[in-house]
Amino acid sequence: MKIYYSNAHSMHNPSYEVVDGGVRTPYLETPQRMDRILSVLEKQPWAELTPQKECDLQPILAVHTSDYVEFLRSAFDEWQFEATDYEKQALLPATFAPRNTFHRPRSLLGKAGYHMMDLSAPILAGTFEAALNSAACALSGAEALFSGDSAALALCRPPGHHAGRETCGGYCYLNNASIATQWLSAKGRVAILDIDYHAGNGTQEIFYDRGDVLTISIHADPDDHYPHFSGYIDETGTGAGFGAHRNFPLPDGTGDDDYRSTLGQAIQFIQEFEPRYMVVSAGLDIYEGDPMGTFKISLVGVHNIGRSIRALNLPTLFVMEGGYDQDSLGTTLIALLEPFT
């Protein structure tokens, strides 16, 4: 299996994040996550570590607005000129756009509040370069499927499934899975299965009115967990996309048996959709003991998730999302991928 990976991910390395209540804590989405994964993958005889292909902005602009991409590209440099009375290490706004916002401000902090959903996605000097290469990993995996590979893994960092058409948040800047899916959708119908602990709100937004892409997210109940405002069971698509999106919110403490039952329902939707390609947003924060989750999915449970996806017999691209228990992250990813090796 080809594993697409870029060293540019380490260019994005925030020193802290601001959590509920305004407390600064160490940033959990660290470069060390990739180091731990690679240390395990390098020992696997089936893992073919492959440099990502270069990509231009065209496939990214097919998913994200040009204003948003330009903001990500230029915001940090602009901040260095404007932040005379502020900390310059990272751009974070204090004002966020409410619902039904009609104007995109001209000022940098105004644009930041317009495009940034929360305080977990600061923009640093290397953020755009890291995000661009992360998207390139996903696109390289999509091209591998189109070329005939049965499976591929895109080791994307930063992750992407919380990024919307013109918003970043939840550690995510460019929606890697959606960018790969958009590229593949010109070749045939695509199903996205998001197994991250948190709802894939960005992916939902991007494809919500599309009928040629099926999006399914299995996640913690957003009433109690991030992203809070998306991921509910009654959100099923609109217009041509009505019925082509499904959310499966699950309660705290969900274990292997209940997760397997829910996954079975998701698999049935995928089979009925009859896609040509499968994209999996592979968040491993569902694993028991992850500091960001409450599920109790065992290593065997993660392996069985991989088996269920494999049984669909579709060309499948795994796109790395969350997973923050660094001691187990590589082992858990191997468990998910083994049925494809």
239 Ramachandran zone, left/alpha/beta (phi>0; psi -120 to 50): left
Q: How far is CA 215 from CA 31, 289, 309, 334, in A?
A: 28, 27, 15, 24
What pLDDT was estimated at residue 228? 97
How many CA within 13 A on the CB side of residue 22? 1
Instruction: Identify the bridge partners of residue 153 per DSSP, sorted by sequence position.
Output: 3, 318
Low-confidence ranges of the chain (pLDDT < 70): none
pLDDT recorded at residue 87: 78
**Exposed e or buried b per residue across 13-47, where buried means at least 16 C-beta atoms within 10 angstroms of its C-beta:** bbeebeeeeeeeeebbbbeebbebbbebbeebeeb
Cis? peptide before 227, omega within 30° of 0: yes
- pTM of structure: 0.97
Query: How far is the C-alpha of 95 from the C-alpha of 86, rounded, in Å?
Result: 15
User: Which residue in 172, 124, 187 sits closest to 281, CA to CA?
Assistant: 172
Q: For residue 83, what pLDDT is reported?
A: 75
CA distance 151 to 128: 28
Q: Are strands 151-154 and 2-5 parallel, antiparallel or unpaired?
A: parallel
Parallel, antiparallel, or unpaired for β 17-19 and 23-25? antiparallel
Instruction: Give the span between the Cα atoms of 275 and 277, in whole angstroms.
Output: 6
The angle subtended at Cα 9 by Cα 167 and Cα 75, nearest 5°, is 40
Q: Distance between CA atoms of 148 and 138, rounded to whole angstroms?
A: 16
Tell the residue number behind the tokens 């049935």, with chain if given: 268
CB 117 within 8 A of CB 142: no
Residue type, 133: N
Q: Is 162 a catalytic residue?
A: yes
Cα 14 to its chain centre, rounded Å, is: 18
Which residue ranges form the domains of the chain, and what is each CATH number?
2-11+29-58+129-340 (3.40.800.20)
**Helix ranges (DSSP H) in 208-320:** 256-273, 299-310
Phi, psi of 156 (to 5 degrees): -85, 130
Q: Which long-range contacts (CB under 8 A, 24 or more apart) does 91-99 make?
A: 91/122, 91/123, 91/124, 92/18, 92/116, 92/119, 92/122
Strand partners of residue 50: 4
How many Cβ atoms from other residues are within 10 Å of residue 87's Cβ? 9
Among residues 292, 270, 141, the alpha carbon closest in space to that of 226 is found at 292
User: Which member of 115, 162, 198, 225 is catalytic?
Assistant: 162
Supply the Cα-derived Rg of the chain in whole angstroms. Answer: 19
